């Protein structure tokens, strides 16, 4: 059994209350508790989810980021808190606030639409820092504007990027890739590639239930076409301006939803003549509304909910 490290909040009667750092080593044959009288500072966090895509939100006014090993532990659903990623609430010199997001494997992502909705709802609800319904957020994909109305969060996700070398997709120059053949695991698919600040490869299928996402997802992610790897969305048209989508997220694997991936899928569906500019996308964890407006910006509307709070 792998080593697990847990921080337990304890108090002992030695004239003052102390926090004990408990180093817990587990093996198949023994459990050894080694306690040291070492004062530690517990970090508060909140767990949020948007359409089942869940995140640990940490407020770091000093703009400090944890080491990848700590992020992986936090996201571990067996030994940590459990999440698809960790989001840091930081100060910004360019916007009202700044968001940095890290995948479950400890790597940093440029953007995350569901994460941004959770981030905004965290700041715009309760006794948090912002009372306005609008919020500007500095992200790895630029400064984005978020609005909350009737507990739904609408995000201006910016403009989609189609040039292959900017997504990036190798071997196609600045070409726009719509229904472009790609061979993965001995089978030819048709991919439409879009960047929403992070790379997406969208594949439309006749029967989404027949897609073995756990098997094929990582093969798309690490395909030679994608120098920075890619997020992969499989989608099926199920009605007028309505799609069913599943996603393999770069650095996280199968998730219940992906905001940027939903936007990329809606854009790709329009480019392939499957939908109009407004689209409803049904995900494993919920429903998002996507609109591609005349100013070329993509707007995403959906929920974000607090799950619980705690300390580590």
Write down the residue that tokens 């949020």 correspond to.
48
Question: Is domain 164-296 given the CATH code 3.10.310.10 in the classification?
Answer: yes
- Residues 70 and 26: their CA atoms lie apart, in Å, by 19
**Residue of 68, 92, 73 lying closest to 140 (CA atoms):** 92
pLDDT, position 37: 37
pLDDT, position 134: 82
pLDDT digits (tens, 9 = 90+) for 79-130: 999 999 999 999 999 999 999 999 999 999 989 999 999 999 999 876 655 6
- What's the CATH superfamily of 44-156+305-311? Diaminopimelate Epimerase; Chain A, domain 1 (3.10.310.10)
Could you check whether 44-156+305-311 and 164-296 share the same CATH topology?
yes
Is the full-model pTM beyond 0.95? no
By annotation, the residues acting in catalysis are 112, 258
pLDDT digits (tens, 9 = 90+) for 185-238: 999 999 999 999 999 999 999 999 999 999 999 999 999 999 999 999 999 999
For residue 292, pLDDT over 90 is answered with yes
pLDDT, position 124: 86
- Res. 2 pLDDT band, cuts 50 70 90: very low
- Res. 131 pLDDT band, cuts 50 70 90: low
For residue 24, pLDDT over 70 is answered with no
**Residue of 225, 224, 243 lying closest to 234 (CA atoms):** 243
Residue length, the chain? 312
Could you give the C-alpha distances from 290 to 152, 162, 302, in angstroms and in order?
13, 18, 9
Kindly report whether the peptide bond that precedes residue 252 is cis, defined as omega within 30 degrees of 0. no
Question: What three-state secondary structure class fits 242?
Answer: strand
Residue spans of the domains in the chain: they are 1-42, 44-156+305-311, 164-296
Strands 142-149 and 305-311: unpaired
Q: Report the percent of the chain where pLDDT is more than 90.
A: 78
């Amino acid at each position: 059994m792998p080593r697990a490290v847990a921080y337990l909040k304890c108090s002992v009667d030695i004239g003052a209350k102390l926090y004990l750092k408990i180093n817990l080593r587990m093996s198949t044959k023994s459990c050894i508790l080694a306690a040291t009288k070492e004062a530690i500072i517990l970090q508060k966090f909140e767990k949020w989810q948007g359409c089942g895509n869940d995140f640990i939100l940490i407020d770091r006014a000093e703009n400090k980021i944890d080491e990848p090993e700590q992020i992986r532990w936090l996201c571990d659903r067996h030994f940590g808190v459990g999440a698809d990623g960790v989001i840091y609430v930081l100060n910004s010199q360019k916007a009202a606030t700044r968001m940095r997001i890290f995948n479950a494997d400890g790597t940093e992502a440029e953007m995350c639409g569901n994460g941004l909705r959770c981030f905004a709802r965290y700041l715009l609800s309760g006794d948090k820092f912002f009372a306005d319904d609008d919020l500007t957020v500095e992200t790895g994909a630029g400064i984005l504007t978020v609005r909350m109305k009737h507990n739904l969060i609408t995000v201006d996700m910016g403009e989609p990027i189609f040039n292959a070398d900017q997504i990036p997709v190798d071997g196609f120059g600045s070409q726009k890739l719509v229904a472009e053949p790609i061979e993965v695991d001995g089978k030819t698919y048709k991919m439409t590639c879009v960047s929403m600040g992070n790379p997406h490869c969208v594949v439309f299928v006749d029967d989404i239930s027949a897609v073995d996402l756990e098997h094929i997802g990582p093969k798309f992610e690490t395909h030679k076409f994608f120098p920075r790897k890619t997020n992969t969305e499989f989608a099926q048209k199920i009605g007028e301006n309505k799609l069913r989508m599943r996603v393999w997220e770069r650095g996280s694997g199968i998730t219940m939803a992906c905001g940027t991936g939903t936007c990329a899928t809606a854009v790709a569906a329009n480019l392939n003549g499957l939908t109009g500019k407004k689209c409803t996308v049904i995900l494993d964890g919920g429903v998002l509304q996507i609109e591609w407006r005349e100013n070329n910006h993509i707007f995403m509307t959906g929920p974000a909910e607090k799950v619980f709070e705690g300390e580590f």
